Amino acid sequence: MTEPGQTTAARPEPQTVTGRAHAPEVSAAKARRWGAFYYAEQVLRVMKGYGWTIVMYGVGQPVAYLFAMGVGLATLVDSNSAAAFGGVSYLTFIAPALLISAAVMTAANEFTFPVMDGFKWRRVYYGPHASPLTPEQIAAGQIIAVTVRFLLQSAIYFGVVTLFGASPSGWGWVSILIATLAGLAFGLPLMAYAARIKEDKGQFAMVMRFIVMPLFLFSGTFFPLDTLPLGVRWVGWISPIWHGTELGRVVTYGYPEPAWLSAVHLIVLAGLTVLGWVLTRRQFATRMGA
């Protein structure tokens, strides 16, 4: 009983639960079906934590090259060697190459150290693998997330190129897709290689120094490939950067190229992407004991 003058403390009203958690078998079924996208979401959330670093590296670096080479050096090149670039300005000539190169360099970073981190350093792949997610889904999720990064950074960079008037063709936006394909063509075989490494002994530094940089320098990035000596011209022929750059020049300013050669560029990039995808899935399954 309550004495006169005393008040009864108000009791909280019971909360009504309006939703229900999925049953374990339902959650497992959803993970088996959409697991790759779940893992991609997790990777993208991690990327969001250092988003400004991604923007500065993925976009700031090629834009700096664009200013230095396409605006600064271009004033000298255009006044002395305009005919060497098919009648277009030097800025227009190198802009697609820098777009493709940025995607490939991003691939060299995203498909090496994060893969090593997943298997060796922090072993971040093994937590999701303890759930119904398969190794192939984890690999696919990583690839999906990095592909989103390729698309976003390439779109931003292409916007800058457009502001400079370096993409006169109405089909220039297709270079965003070409850059993404070139990044995957280089990155997925590299991802399969990274998944095989069990001890870091400087392999990735060697890749950057002796593979990525030569491809960047000798893939017709700054001058037409046929102006280079035959002794280094072969580097361009096998380089995803060259194949992507040639396609990028076709769509951004109508670079004159036979249709069969454009088809070869596309087949090479698509073939390397599919090969890297198959090898990566196989290596992830082997490494994680599936």
267 located within any domain: yes
Range of the domain at 160: 35-74+84-287
222 located within any domain: yes
Query: With pLDDT > 70 as the criterion, what percentage of the chain qualifies?
Result: 84
181 located within any domain: yes
Q: Residue 236: count other Cβ atoms within 10 Å of its Cβ.
A: 23
9 located within any domain: no
CA dist 200 → 149, 197, 209 (Å)? 26, 7, 16
271 located within any domain: yes
Q: What is the pTM of this model?
A: 0.87
The three-state (H, E, C) secondary structure of 252-269, written as one string:
HHCCCCCHHHHHHHHHHH
Nearest-angstrom CA–CA distance, 155 and 158: 5
Q: What does the pLDDT look like over 217-229, one tens digit per residue?
A: 999 988 889 888 8
Number of separate domains in the chain:
1
242 located within any domain: yes
Q: Residue 256: count other Cβ atoms within 10 Å of its Cβ.
A: 8
Q: Give the dihedral sign, CA 38/109/215/207.
A: negative
Q: Please give the pLDDT value at position 164.
A: 83
165 located within any domain: yes
22 located within any domain: no
Q: What does the pLDDT look like over 134-187, one tens digit per residue?
A: 999 999 999 999 999 999 999 989 998 888 888 999 999 999 999 999 999 999
